[in-house]
Amino acid sequence: MASGSSSSNATITNIQSPAQLAQTISGSKIVVADFWADWCGPCKAIAPLYEQLAHQLSRPGKITFVKVDTDAQKEIARGWNVTAMPTFLIIKNGRETSRIMGADGAKLQKAVQNLAKEADSVDQNTGESSVGASDTWLAKPVPQGYADVTNEVESKGLDLLNVDSSIGDAKTLFLGSSPSSLDKGKGKESTAPKKKDWVESDTDEQLMLFVPFMSIVKIHSLQLTSLPPKDSGDEVPMRPKTIKLYTNNAHNLGFEEADDITPTQEVVLDPGAWGEEDGTAKVDLRFVKFQKCSSVVIFVVNGDGDGDKVRLDRIRFIGDTGEKIGSRKVEKVGED
């Protein structure tokens, strides 16, 4: 059977549109994608092995196998920078983690079998999730062509100034779980963590957060979640209003220092920007200015009221990982 023909293998999804692929990726922790072409002899040669692996190792909602006809789905191929066939991509949590170019059956089989072992191991692991784990909570859908890249945050390098140390710290903002305040609103108070899982400013309404990344990232947008109590009063913290962002600093900025530097972008959030149910605002960035980010400083300048404190529960970065040092050169593999 040709690699791209309508497969009788029900465990393989033949992708018909970018939207279908995006939906498949959002619904599965791991997606294995076979990029093929009808004219490609190596694609046809390795097709039976790919179908066998899909039949043996598919896990509903965990490992999904798909085929992408690069001639029919040129937009998808361009979006994933696929120029040689066959190319196999392993996509975890919406982000490419491995690429196999050519009809290398042994390499493909080993990679997919390792994924299956990893998935089975995660099922048995009851430990705490790390930043960017497969169960990371997201309030808003991820735009087509992008992914949640919060797992690229280097948690050990986080630095947050003017934070109330009796509540949460910088790492709290990147917890994979949904905010406990959101769960309380859904009748889940008994499962809320003992420690308050949000941050508040300390002496005034300003916060200065330094976020380093483990690799160069492209940032399309932010998701900021803030869930202050609905009670009125001076003691209730505010949601952020004015935010300034600075890219590619080696360390955090001081408050006076930030005032003297032109930000990469300044954003003013209207009260209507915050979702009524999830308390989350989607902050669209000028993507061209956030193409090669090794770090971001998020400066909360003020809040949306007359209070003295600002509250943040979660932060998510949406975008894509950029080119890494020593990245591979794309070459044509195999012949017709």
Whether the Cβ atoms of residue 273 and residue 267 lie closer than 8 Å to each other: no
Burial of residue 87 (number of CB atoms within 10 Å: 0-12, 13-18, 19+): buried
Q: Which amino acid is at 160?
A: L
For the stretch 160-194, what's the b/e string if a residue is b when 16 or more beta carbons lie within 10 angstroms of its beta carbon?
bbbbbeebbebebbbbbbbbbbbbeeeeeeeebee
293 is catalytic: no
Give start and end residues of each alpha helix (H) in 198-281: 255-259
As a whole number of Å, the CA-based R_g of the chain is 22
How is residue 87 written in tokens?
């190319």
What is the phi-psi region of residue 334: left when phi exceeds 0, alpha when psi lies from -120 to 50, beta otherwise? left
Which of 33, 40, 207, 222 is labelled catalytic?
A: 40
CA angle 322, 328, 331 (to 5 degrees): 120
Residue 84 has a CB neighbour count (10 Å cut-off) of 17
Burial of residue 286 (number of CB atoms within 10 Å: 0-12, 13-18, 19+): exposed
Give start and end residues of each alpha helix (H) in the chain: 18-26, 41-57, 74-79, 105-124, 180-184, 255-259
Which of 22, 32, 37, 43 is labelled catalytic?
A: 43
How is residue 45 written in tokens?
């040669």
268: β partners: 242
How is residue 24 written in tokens?
């498949």
DSSP annotation of 78: H
How is residue 243 written in tokens?
């935010």
Would you please indicate which residues are annotated as catalytic (active-site) residues?
A: 40, 43
